[in-house]
Amino acid sequence: MSFEQLGLQAELLGAVAAEGYTSPTPIQSRAIPVILEGRDVLGGAQTGTGKTAAFALPILQLLNMHSERPARSLLRGQASESDIDTSLHVEDSRGKAAGSFNKGERGRLPRALILTPTRELAAQVEESVRTYGRKLPLRSTVIYGGVGINPQIEALRRGVDILVATPGRLLDHAGQGTLNLSKVEILVLDEADRMLDMGFIHDIRRILKLLPHKRQNLLFSATYSNEIKSLADGLLHEPELIEVARRNTAAETVTHVVHPVGHSRKRELLSHLIKGGDWKRVLVFTRTKHGANRLANQLMSDGVSATAIHGNKSQAARTRALAEFKSGAVRTLVATDIAARGLDIDSLPHVVNYELPNIPEDYVHRIGRTGRAGANGMALSLVCLEEQELLTNIQKVLQHKIQVEKVPGFEQENASASRQAPSFRQPGARQDTRGGKEGFGRRPSSHRDERKSSGDGRNFKRRG
């Protein structure tokens, strides 16, 4: 199938061709026609399968087709008189007036809202919207925490058709009266499972109260849980279920390997693998922000260039770290799970789980940074005895065993650890694990701490 067969208009086809895409991915070929029909969608797709284009392209077409605004005035960055309200008014969740723009401000209201869990993903999605829609008279902007709010206010005042946002900062704008969502026609919840993991469910419910009741809803999630099903049931109206892979699976182009190693020797083994394999680019995941900083510093002392990215970093520092990694200035990026979504890195051959995630589904998100767009990737996990139960739970989600490879010189635990824990089991060995709904309930403290400091919420002084 070609993009032309999906019913996309010439401007979008030209933008897609300019990006070097010749044929749609499975999620694109199935989702685009359904969204163009105006139907709700519940989409399940592995990360790296072209999901952003699957909703961005049809949204751009729908908004452009239904727009009555004169294109020439929009291209000059101006709105016509019929498109604006002299006073934009919103109400907070209690129904009290939250504020308004000054009279005389000119700007059209958002008609599509895309919610994402992290700053990086929000920025990536908005960049894709701009790229695909560069030949259309539509305007987009992105708002998230960790940066100044005033430039965002000015962008909203100038008018926007497509708004990409993180939930916390969106509610900050709504609370200050700098955002009116009464004209939203299309809502997208991107990486919905990650938003729930990070504790955004209450924010999402508050946002839904600010939107028109009649709208098109698109929910995309790499993994499914009972909470996702519940959210979808309450949000979507007779949705088209689109799954391009078995639920909670990783890309087939990724090779999974476990290296058993003592906890105290993980850093040594990681340095050995990077230097011995001459790895040029590797993304390493830790559970905590402090652990990410410590590991990056230790790798530097081992002669391996590294930098860290996590929620305590300012947005400028996070952007700089990612740019250095993409450019090759540093070969190792150490990240917490805040970065498991939204990092779009070309040709990333290796992802390492320095510490296994507490939530097994997060393993899928982490390793989704490699093996993208059909490329081959390697996902390695450095697993100590204390993490054996976490490994078993991950294998339950994947529904297959992960190959175990012992690295010569690193295969044995130290004597004290051996006395405290049973011998390392091969994958799939029978043992007690969390059953039923565990893993989908209360988030571990690392997730709560990351969410608090992620900058996607209230990190600036309110006015008035």
- Start-to-end CA distance of the chain, whole Å, equals 55
Per residue in 248-288, pLDDT tens?
A: 555 667 889 999 999 999 999 999 999 999 999 999 999 99
**Closest of 206, 52, 205, 201 to residue 132, by C-alpha:** 52
Q: Classify residue 404: in a domain, yes or no.
A: yes
Q: Classify residue 462: in a domain, yes or no.
A: no
Dig out the tokens for 175 from the structure.
Answer: 């609370």
Where is pLDDT greater, at 207 or 252?
207
Quick one: pLDDT at residue 414? 44
How far apart (Å, rounded) are the C-alpha atoms in residues 391 and 247?
A: 18
Per residue in 346-385, pLDDT tens?
A: 678 899 999 998 888 788 878 877 755 556 789 999 999 9
- For residues 83-98, one letter each, b for 16 or more C-beta atoms within 10 angstroms of the residue's C-beta and e for the rest, the string is bbbeebebebeeeeeb
Dig out the tokens for 89 from the structure.
Answer: 């008014």
Alpha helices in 302-457 (DSSP H): 315-327, 361-367, 388-398, 415-420, 445-452
How far apart (Å, rounded) are the C-alpha atoms in residues 139 and 77?
A: 9
Quick one: pLDDT at residue 256? 92
Q: Classify residue 137: in a domain, yes or no.
A: yes
Phi then psi for residue 378, to 5 deg, are: -125, 125
Considering the domain architecture, whether residues 228 and 286 belong to the same structural domain is answered as: no
Q: Classify residue 190: in a domain, yes or no.
A: yes
Q: Which domain holds residue 51?
A: 3-243
Considering the domain architecture, whether residues 217 and 158 belong to the same structural domain is answered as: yes
Considering the domain architecture, whether residues 70 and 125 belong to the same structural domain is answered as: yes
Considering the domain architecture, whether residues 58 and 184 belong to the same structural domain is answered as: yes
**Closest of 353, 225, 360 to residue 295, by C-alpha:** 353
If you average pLDDT over residues 149-155, what whole number do you get?
95
Considering the domain architecture, whether residues 194 and 278 belong to the same structural domain is answered as: no
Dig out the tokens for 458 from the structure.
Answer: 């209230």
Quick one: pLDDT at residue 70? 38
Considering the domain architecture, whether residues 265 and 201 belong to the same structural domain is answered as: no
Per residue in 287-296, pLDDT tens?
A: 998 999 999 9
How far apart (Å, rounded) are the C-alpha atoms in residues 285 and 343?
A: 13
Whether the per-residue pLDDT at 106 is higher than 90: the answer is no
Quick one: pLDDT at residue 337? 80
Considering the domain architecture, whether residues 236 and 377 belong to the same structural domain is answered as: no
The CATH number given to whatever domain includes residue 338 is 3.40.50.300
Dig out the tokens for 159 from the structure.
Answer: 């008018």
- H or E element, residue 114: strand 112-115
Q: Classify residue 464: in a domain, yes or no.
A: no
The domain boundary residue, chosen from 243, 262, 279: 243
The answer to whether the CB of 440 falls within 8 A of the CB of 226 is yes
Quick one: pLDDT at residue 48? 65
Considering the domain architecture, whether residues 74 and 116 belong to the same structural domain is answered as: yes
**Percent of residues, the chain, with pLDDT higher than 70:** 75
Q: Classify residue 457: in a domain, yes or no.
A: no
The domain boundary residue, chosen from 208, 223, 243: 243
Average pLDDT, the chain: 79
Considering the domain architecture, whether residues 56 and 200 belong to the same structural domain is answered as: yes
Per residue in 372-427, pLDDT tens?
A: 555 678 999 999 999 999 999 999 888 889 999 999 999 755 434 433 443 444 44
The domain boundary residue, chosen from 180, 213, 243: 243
Considering the domain architecture, whether residues 227 and 262 belong to the same structural domain is answered as: no
Confidence grade of residue 166 (pLDDT, cut at 50, 70, 90): very high
How far apart (Å, rounded) are the C-alpha atoms in residues 267 and 270?
A: 5
How far apart (Å, rounded) are the C-alpha atoms in residues 355 and 270?
A: 12
Tokens 């029978």, residue located: 430
Q: Taking the C-alpha atoms of 18, 20, 26 and 29 in order, what is their torsion angle to the nearest 10 degrees?
A: 30
DSSP secondary structure letter of residue 332: E
Tally of domains within the chain: 2
**Rg from Cα positions in the chain:** 23
Report the range of poorest mean pLDDT among 74-88, 155-169, 217-231, 236-250. 74-88
How far apart (Å, rounded) are the C-alpha atoms in residues 257 and 260?
A: 10
